[in-house]
Structure 1
Amino acid sequence: MTQALKIYIDGKWIDSSNPEKQDIINPANQEIIAKAPKATKEETEATITVAKNAFESGVWSDRTPQERAEVLLEIADKMEESLDELVTLEVENNGKTRKEAEYDALDAVSSFRYYASLLNTSTGQTYEASDDIQTVIIKEPMGVAGLIVPWNFPLLMSVWKIAPALAAGNSIVLKPAEITPMTAVKVFELIDQTSLPKGVANLLMGAGSVVGQTISESNDVNVVSFTGSTEVGRNIMQAATGNLKKISLELGGKSPNIIFADADLDTAIDYAMYGIYMGSGQVCSSGSRVLVQEDIYDTFIEKFVEGIKKIRVGPGNDENSEMGAIVSKKHMESILEYIRIGKEEGAHLACGGNRIERDGMEKGFFIEPTVFVDVDSDMRIVQEEIFGPVVVIQKFNDEAEAIKLANDTVFGLAGAVFSRDQNKAMRIIKKVRAGITWINTYHLTNIQAPWGGYKQSGIGRSLGTYGLDEYQETKQINISTQPQPIGWFR
């Protein structure tokens, strides 16, 4: 039976006044698994007002950090109890493999616990400004946080925003991607079972042009955190100028993975495959440009292609699947169009390039792991984010050329270097203009480290103490220890 989803406002699950619904599709077989509401502009404005009133009432914002930490731990416990259901929903709604969804769900639970731990250890600063003036620096919540989540990591990205925003003492309005709301709905069902005061956390589903735009424009929203495309990020940045609200944007990427001739070749190939084909390439930090030193260029391509031909593509709920479905028909068609463009531009298609319509995948949105070689930097497939299982392999001669090619896009989210020479690897990675980088590994990170990019890959940082800072104001309080007239005017 198809589930009828509802929006969550002021602690109540309600239907939208808009009769139009969004079909929620399982991308592995195109089955409709739910019908989602499309909230209106008026409902969005009303929800923001609810969040504002909750914030100003102090029911959450006035609680001590330790009290807020206890509620975050409640949420973490509820999520852990429902881990299997969260994983299943993520697989069915997003199309990723169960292995990936399990990793995301565990990371989501850890995120709540991490920010709870920060609250239990948070400290301010004090300064002796003069003999009789003491300055105290404190952090305060900002107010209403608008959280706009992408479709590639529906659960994890939701929690990466919810946990620090609540930890800081804000009220929130969360908008999941229109096509992948299932795990966000479940998280709010679990939040509803905790002692978090009603009205503090609210969930709206609907079009970005309506719900997202209204959140971004609202003078009652104090901070917007968005993860998604650079194009939409620009729109949010422009909309946010009305009240000069704080924005945090994690946007697109076209990340370089630099392989030197002295690298451990098997390790480099293994991580290059993981770097692009994990999540079917629908990962903002994917290593979608592999730069290979000319001495090993041909050998690398031969072994890389040999490796990816063994990747088992299939439905995410099949335990044998190593790469799942593309999230939607629309996005699959966009990827296939880029593959067509690559061939038209003169790049050599070394492997893949087709939709998979066999072995029970006829109804799903599956694309073969795809490799382009002999590419030029001015090609669209080299410069633009494809956001799918498509990699371009470029040749370089020396360190200088590797750095030049690595930085030759408008993006700067991630990057990696593979070399046995640690000094060289560190020298190169420091020249790569990106916010998330690796040496002799890829994708692996931890919640304590800041996540975000340079250039057109975004503004601000998620995770770590930096992620908490995105949802806080910094205030200085100057205290006179010996109050007396200043005598400025004689």
Structure 2
Amino acid sequence: MKKYNLFIGGEEVTPASGNWFDTENPYTAETWAQIPNGNADDVDKAAAAAHHALHNGTWAEMTPTERGAVLRRIGDVIAERAEQLAEVEVLDNGKLFSEMSGQLTYLPQWFYYYGGLADKIEGTVVPVDKKGYFLYTQRQPKGVVGIITPWNSPLLLLAWKLAPALAAGCTVVIKPSEFTSASTLELAALLGDAGVPPGVVNVVTGYGREVGAPLVEHPLISKVSFTGSDQTGRHINVAAADKLKHVSLELGGKSPNVVFDDADLEAAVNGVISGIFAATGQTCIAGSRLLVQETIHDEFVERLVALARTARMGDPMEESTDIGPVTTAAQYDKVLDYIDIAKKEGATVALGGRAADRPECGRGRFVEPTILTNVRNDMRIAQEEVFGPVLSVIPFADEADAVAIANDVRFGLGAGVWTSDIARAFRVSNRIASGTVWVNTYRAVSYMAPFGGMKDSGIGRENGLHAIDEFLETKSVWINTGAPSTSPFVMR
């Protein structure tokens, strides 16, 4: 059994508490590693290390071009260890190896992209309206960033924050989910090989109360970047606001997947299945609300159930497996509770609707792929994030009805539109209140594409050119080139 340590100041460090906790393989239900149980003392040490690295030594003295080279080397290191890191993620969160391997193989692109962007951060010369002055702006790092990541795709979602933060010149303290900390600690141990100076990246593992809260409130942390539930995001936003810290929050979703009667039904069925059952539905962009036009409702549901019924559950390391276990015991109970709530609200179970007891599921926590019909959009199952393999089917009459239902939810992270009418695709995409809309596809992401939510789905954007702005401050510099001295009591 592997026993990990914290990563602070470029070194592996034992936790101040002297305690570790077990991390469990969701498929075998067996402990496979021990994670350090950090606390506020560890956060303080990590924040101090990050603050020192920001203002002193190698990282502080690097040119933007040199920082960019470091980021590209991080990409190289990840590419060399992609399979190993993917295996660790599967052990920790139970997602399919095929999915995690794909993520880790793609992951270096974030560091290559932002490595190239590091020396493209430019200020401006402002043609100021006052004679005798030269005015220019600089873009400078916000400071030490607290990064808090979730358990569903630990390293991918870390890269979305870490790469632009480092490109901006910031230093970081990372708090991964207590359920999936191992891969982040594995990555941190590799960063020295990429030339990352000590203290630039620090990892403190543990629970929210003991590590997350002290990290958000620490006086040396200038910004908090968080991905997780909207409930936790609200608490972080309040705590950060009290200290006047910057935040970016990528929170939950209840994404509509809208299928019109002129869509390619085979492609739409595949897209809907991918949107909700890939990753066992444990993704913030899960297309958990299927809005299907009344004229094709019955045929579409029949096709959907037929395809979903073929999904193979089992060992996530097996290439033939389509759906893996639910990652945590609490999440497993939550998913089953929501299915029960939906039944009591009047929903009909067209498929699944219970825990899976197939032999191939072993001792893992599996939920049968579940499709619910007769769902109204005002039901809890249609309004609240389940984060599991549960699809709610809601009929709509026409385009206006579809848009109204799609927007009648407090979230706005992702949405899908399936139609062969290109004009409709533009109209509906424009009217749906969502940070991302996919047309005739679903669940595609890129380091180039800005990602984030509207409404209760968050604040700020990750990925693309916009992401680096989340980690930069703009400074104005005035230089007197000959303006005459005037009364000290009058604004110049």
TM-score, normalised relative to structure 2: 0.96
Which residue does 2:215 correspond to in 1?
A: 215
Which residue does 1:205 correspond to in 2?
A: 205
Spell out the pairing of 1:133-212 with structure 2 (5 A cutoff).
133-212=133-212
Which residue does 2:118 correspond to in 1?
A: 119
Distance 1:201 1:463 in 2: 19
Which residue does 2:358 correspond to in 1?
A: 358
* Distance change in 2, residues 1:465/1:61 (3 Å): farther
State the shift of 1:93 in Å. Answer: 1.1
Which residue does 1:404 correspond to in 2?
A: 404
Residues 190-246 of structure 1 deviation map (CA, whole Å, 9 limit, x = unaligned): 112232211111110000111110011112110000000000001101111232000
- Give the 3-state SS of the residue equivalent to 2:128 in structure 1: strand
Spell out the pairing of 1:353-392 with structure 2 (5 A cutoff).
353-392=353-392
State the shift of 1:333 in Å. Answer: 1.1
State the shift of 1:269 in Å. Answer: 0.8
State the shift of 1:271 in Å. Answer: 0.4
Residues 46-96 of structure 1 deviation map (CA, whole Å, 9 limit, x = unaligned): 221221122122532342110101111111111111111011111111111
Which residue does 1:7 correspond to in 2?
A: 6
Residues 124-161 of structure 1 deviation map (CA, whole Å, 9 limit, x = unaligned): 32221245434322210011100000000111111211
Which residue does 1:259 correspond to in 2?
A: 259
Distance 2:19 2:290 in 1: 44
Which residue does 2:76 correspond to in 1?
A: 77
Residues 258-303 of structure 1 deviation map (CA, whole Å, 9 limit, x = unaligned): 1111111111111011111111100101111010010001111000
Distance 2:32 2:56 in 1: 38
Deviates more, 1:444-453 or 1:10-19: 10-19
State the shift of 1:367 in Å. Answer: 1.3
The amino acid that maps onto 1:278 is: A
Which residue does 2:455 correspond to in 1?
A: 455
Distance 1:40 1:478 in 2: 44
Distance 1:287 1:111 in 2: 25
State the shift of 1:433 in Å. Answer: 0.6
Which residue does 2:65 correspond to in 1?
A: 66
Residues 422-473 of structure 1 deviation map (CA, whole Å, 9 limit, x = unaligned): 1111101111111011111111121111110000000011111221111111
Distance 2:182 2:488 in 1: 63
Residues 395-427 of structure 1 deviation map (CA, whole Å, 9 limit, x = unaligned): 000111111100111101111111111111110
Which residue does 2:348 correspond to in 1?
A: 348
Deviates more, 1:84-93 or 1:132-141: 132-141
Distance 2:217 2:359 in 1: 47
Kept in 2: contact 1:451–1:462 (CA 8 A): yes
Distance 1:182 1:72 in 2: 22
Which residue does 2:27 correspond to in 1?
A: 28
The amino acid that maps onto 1:92 is: L
Kept in 1: contact 2:313–2:360 (CA 8 A): no
**Does residue 89 of the first structure (1) align with residue 68 of the second (2)?**
no
Kept in 2: contact 1:377–1:405 (CA 8 A): yes
Which residue does 1:444 correspond to in 2?
A: 444
Deviates more, 1:44-53 or 1:363-372: 44-53
State the shift of 1:176 in Å. Answer: 0.6
The amino acid that maps onto 1:356 is: A
Distance 1:367 1:133 in 2: 67
State the shift of 1:479 in Å. Answer: 3.3
Which residue does 1:55 correspond to in 2?
A: 54
Kept in 2: contact 1:62–1:169 (CA 8 A): no
**Does residue 421 of the first structure (1) align with residue 436 of the second (2)?**
no
Distance 2:350 2:379 in 1: 16
Kept in 2: contact 1:22–1:179 (CA 8 A): no
Distance 2:223 2:57 in 1: 18
- Give the 3-state SS of the residue equivalent to 2:60 in structure 1: coil
Which residue does 2:310 correspond to in 1?
A: 310
State the shift of 1:168 in Å. Answer: 0.9
Distance 1:159 1:424 in 2: 35
Kept in 2: contact 1:61–1:141 (CA 8 A): no
Which structure 2 residue ranges, 5 or more long, are not aligned? none
Kept in 2: contact 1:357–1:363 (CA 8 A): no
Which residue does 2:286 correspond to in 1?
A: 286
Kept in 2: contact 1:280–1:325 (CA 8 A): yes
- Give the 3-state SS of the residue equivalent to 2:395 in structure 1: strand
Distance 1:299 1:427 in 2: 26
- Give the 3-state SS of the residue equivalent to 1:437 in structure 2: strand
The amino acid that maps onto 1:311 is: A
Distance 2:119 2:306 in 1: 50
Distance 2:109 2:390 in 1: 31
Residues 356-412 of structure 1 deviation map (CA, whole Å, 9 limit, x = unaligned): 222331301111111001111221101000000101010000111111100111101
Kept in 1: contact 2:35–2:182 (CA 8 A): no
State the shift of 1:304 in Å. Answer: 0.5
Distance 1:441 1:156 in 2: 21
The count of aligned residue pairs is 489
The amino acid that maps onto 1:374 is: N
Residues 20-48 of structure 1 deviation map (CA, whole Å, 9 limit, x = unaligned): 32211111111211010110112212221
Distance 2:249 2:228 in 1: 8
User: Matched residues, percent identical?
Assistant: 38
Which structure 1 residue ranges, 5 or more long, are not aligned? none
TM-score, normalised relative to structure 1: 0.97
Distance 1:310 1:126 in 2: 61
